[in-house]
Amino acid sequence: MNKIYALLLAAFMSGCATVSPSTPKSNVPVVALTMQSQIQAATSLEKSKIQNSVAEATQSKIVGFDVKEKALLDLMQKYIGKKDGGDCSGFVTLINRQFSLNLFDEKELDKFYTARGLKSEAMFRLYESKNLISFENPEVGDLIFFNNTTKSTKNNKKAKIITHVGIVSSVEKDGTVGFTHHAKGKNAVDFMNLNDKNVRKNGKKELNSFVATCKDKSASCLASNRFAGFGKTHANGKKFRI
């Protein structure tokens, strides 16, 4: 289905840099059609991912998007392969502002920063305060959070710190969740499958992307093993408004 995606590289694989409250001011035929412009603009790696996702979507007969979902996906597609946003929370903020503050309210978010100053963590705590963190049934447009993805936190055994955030851009029948985020200096599409937590690929299909840099390519650094929860944007019958 549809998948969407300078700073200190030491701060990520997909890990986010610290961002304080002053950060960033800064059906299926439809899927195949809107993905075409994305394919043309993406890097060769992203092209492969996108083409595979279109095939998966068609084969799985995934239900089409409503108007708001399609608008969000079209917006994110514009930034695939680009540096806009600057880091993970910056990218989500960029999309949020262009999407008319429907993912979170910046003023309300200010109340949820910790001393670490991580904006991704503040987003998580905001959703948590509203009982909108879930570990199952993701939907397109939900936020997706990961912990301990940065260079300074990836080996932390004492605490799970929310260090990375993206936006769910597809959900496939086999449980593979596509998410668009800012990683390694650009916006990209990556994947997570909680049904196969330690599996990187099934044949040519990517099930779990690395969201933390591990020299030994340890499964512990895959998205599934750093997953911290979904921020539900579809609660109480409302879409994209908490």
What DSSP state is assigned to residue 15?
P
Instruction: List for the chain the helix, strand, coil content (%; round to 5).
Output: 35, 20, 45
| Whole-prediction pTM | 0.77
Where does the chain show beta strands of DSSP type E?
133-134, 143-147, 162-171, 176-183, 186-193, 201-202, 205-206, 227-231
Asked if 16 contacts 22 with a C-beta cutoff of 8 angstroms, the reply is no
Q: Parallel, antiparallel, or unpaired for β 227-231 and 133-134? A: antiparallel
What is the length of the chain? 242
Residue labelled with tokens 């994209």: 240
Query: In the chain, what are the domain boundaries?
Result: 9-26+82-237
How do the pLDDT tens digits run along the chain, 242 residues long? Answer: 444 434 333 343 444 654 454 444 334 333 433 444 444 555 555 555 554 554 444 333 334 457 888 999 999 999 999 999 999 999 999 999 998 778 999 999 999 999 999 999 999 999 999 999 999 999 999 999 999 999 999 999 899 999 999 999 999 999 999 999 999 999 999 999 999 999 999 999 999 999 999 888 899 999 999 999 999 998 766 777 66
Going by C-alpha positions, the residue among 78, 125, 92, 80 that lies closest to residue 16 is: 92
